[in-house]
Amino acid sequence: TKPLTILGLESSCDDTAAAVLRQSGDDAPEILASIVYGQTELHAPFGGVVPEIAARAHAEKLDLSVQEALSAANLSLSEIDAIAVTSGPGLIGGVLSAVMCAKGLSAGLNIPLVGVNHLAGHALTPRLTDQVTFPYLMLLVSGGHCQFLIAHGPEKFTRLGGTIDDAPGEAFDKTARLLGLPQPGGPSVQKEAEAGDPKAHRFPRPLLDRPGCDMSFSGLKTALLRARDAIISEKGGLTIKDRADLCASFQAAVVDVLAEKTRRALEVYMAENPSEPLLAVAGGVAANSAIRARLETVCAESGAAFTAPPLALCTDNAAMIAYAGLERFKSGARDDMGLSARPRWPL
């Protein structure tokens, strides 16, 4: 049979991305190209993503991303069979940019259009990278989300629990900001933490005393702020060592919470799905090596397998959107010009 070639578009937060994915029959899909234009420098002066600036930058970079993805894949537009696009959740102006672009391409080329839930893109990534089969337990942990899901099918997820306030990525970004480290905060905090003492500060591990898989991370940044200010008022500033210790202690708290809640989620999941249990992680925070290492240990102790996508497929990208679109497309789903951009869209 003729291979299926799908173009994916993503613009729901602060990355403009286009990717080309190809699948022959039921073979493992191949990522022919994956282009990501980040907007970190654009938002840096404002200390967070500014929706208006993000939307304008997406509109500016989408055509270019598509062109670059096609040229990296050595394909012309006429060789694309379908378009997949993130249609939510996310910043509405940004989501609209790619949805408009995708509708234009679909109408102009007369090829099918499929809308994709950004979270499903993350949650299905282990199927793209490791051909994982349903069901599996997913920890989706990013800048805006943190939840345990049982993945039953491409559009069927059960939520076991999640954060009741901030997402861990937000906490990493806030920590970096408080310590004067560059954005995105995750990678910079991880790097500083390597030289620090994780026991220097005892930061809170909220909700560990309560049953269930819910988590909380907002108290952590308040604790970090207090510890920082205490050091500054005592010594007049932060040394390199102080910064490293704060980062290491902060990261240790996040790791402990995720590890304990993962242990419980596995317990719940394995009671129902005892055969060949697997935990997969996804989302930007899943790029953190301390988190990955600890979750791998938790899985080994619980008797479950563990898988984590390569770093570039943990953070926002369009290959995951093309893949989630491919799954929907193969199940017969099609969208039309009525496809709308949804700021909120739980899985």
Of 126-134, 206-214, 284-292, 325-333, the segment contacting ligand KG4 by CB under 6 A is: 284-292
One residue of 13, 49, 101, 248 binding ligand KG4 per CB under 6 A: 13
Residue 34 binding ligand KG4, by CB under 6 A: no
One residue of 88, 89, 283, 325 binding ligand KG4 per CB under 6 A: 283
Closest to Zn ion by CB, 192 vs 316, is: 316
Closest to Zn ion by CB, 91 vs 178, is: 91
Of 21-29, 53-61, 78-86, 281-289, the segment contacting ligand KG4 by CB under 6 A is: 281-289
Judged by DSSP in three states, 268 sits in helix
Determine whether the annotation assigns residue 338 to a binding site.
Answer: no
Name the CA dihedral angle for 82, 87, 88, 94, rounded to a multiple of 10 degrees: 110
Q: How far is the CB of 319 from Zn ion (least distance, A)?
A: 13
Which residues contact Zn ion by CB under 5 A? 142, 316
Residue 196 binding ligand KG4, by CB under 6 A: no
Closest to ligand KG4 by CB, 70 vs 138, is: 138
As beta bridge partners, residue 279 has: 137, 306
Determine whether the annotation assigns residue 81 to a binding site.
Answer: no
Q: How far is the CB of 172 from ligand KG4 (least distance, A)?
A: 4
Beta strands in 69-191 (DSSP E): 82-88, 113-117, 136-141, 146-153, 156-162
Tell whether omega for the bond before 51 is within 30 degrees of 0, i.e. cis. Answer: no
Using CA atoms, how far apart are residues 41 and 322, in angstroms rounded to an integer? 26
Closest CA to 312 of 136, 192, 187, 195: 187
One residue of 8, 196, 284, 309 binding ligand KG4 per CB under 6 A: 284
The token pair at 316 is: 């926002």
Residues 6+ apart with CB under 8 A from 98: 9, 10, 11, 12, 16, 58, 62, 85, 86
Q: 235-274 mask for ligand KG4 (x: CB under 6 A)?
A: ----------------------------------------
269 binds, among Zn ion, ligand KG4, none (CB under 5 to 8 A by kind): none
Question: What's the length of the chain?
Answer: 347
| CA 226 from centroid of its chain's CA atoms | 29
> What is the helix (H) or strand (E) element at residue 311, kind and residue range?
helix 311-314
Residues of this chain that bind ligand KG4 (CB under 6 A): 13, 142-144, 169, 172-173, 184-187, 190, 283-285, 287-288, 315-316
List residues forming the annotated binding site for Fe cation.
118, 122, 316
